[in-house]
Structure 1
């Protein structure tokens, strides 16, 4: 139906790279959708690397591989799960949340 079901931001303190952050964000979303009990879902995201890794049958030794493996195991819960890449500039909600999280972090750390 194209509705936003939830939105939040959280702080990552020690992060290897941006792809790890994107993979962890995906992990949070997958867990949320499972907790909500949805069985047919379409995930949208602006990280093409993470989406490609989630739909790929091959494994590599990237630093985000353990997160991808965990996410793939969780995807077994769904009857149907599809992934759609969205351009970053069209994902205004995610950008706004990221910016809000950054401001909260800056205010908390002085």
Structure 2
């Protein structure tokens, strides 16, 4: 794993996502930044969610936001990258998840069927800095 952003294959785009969770408000803000293989921003989007129960749900919502945003922009080959190892691993496993976030993981997997190619990768905080910073600015 690298501590700097690495571009996707030239035929794909990379959607980095992050979330800021505010437990006392039961809210989170999710940010997605989609870049091409040259690092050029192809699109960015922020969503504010209410009634969010915990940080894992917030991260799952952000991952879902990333693939929904990529689909809505018309991309068919996507690398989805986020700094929540738990969410990334659960989505990659492809097995029934009976945890509290299982329904979100299932929804992400179903949405992933809309793409010609999709992969989910873990990114450390430093390589995911742009969406991390934006997500934290939204609720301020």
Q: Tell me, in whole angstroms, the C-alpha distance in 2 between the residues paired with 1:78 and 1:96.
A: 28
Q: How much does 1:93 deviate?
A: 0.8
2:91·2:108 contact (CA, 8 Å) conserved in 1?
Answer: yes
1:42 matches 2:79: yes
Instruction: Name segments (4+ residues, structure 1) moved above 6 Å.
Output: none
Q: TM-score, normalised by structure 2?
A: 0.67
- Alignment match of 1:60 (pick from 90, 97, 112): 97
Q: Which has the larger radius of gyration?
A: 1
Structure with larger RCO (C-alpha < 8 A, sep 6+):
1
What is the RMSD of the two structures over their aligned residues, measured on CA atoms?
A: 1.5
Per-residue Cα deviation, 1:6-32 (whole angstroms, up to 9, x for no partner): 223332332221111010011111111
1:90 matches 2:127: yes
Q: TM-score, normalised by structure 1?
A: 0.83
Count of equivalent residues: 103
More strand by share: 2
Q: Within 5 A, what are the aligned runs for 1:9-20?
A: 9-20=46-57
Which structure 2 segments of 5+ residues have no match? 1-36
Aligned partner of 1:80 in structure 2 is: 117
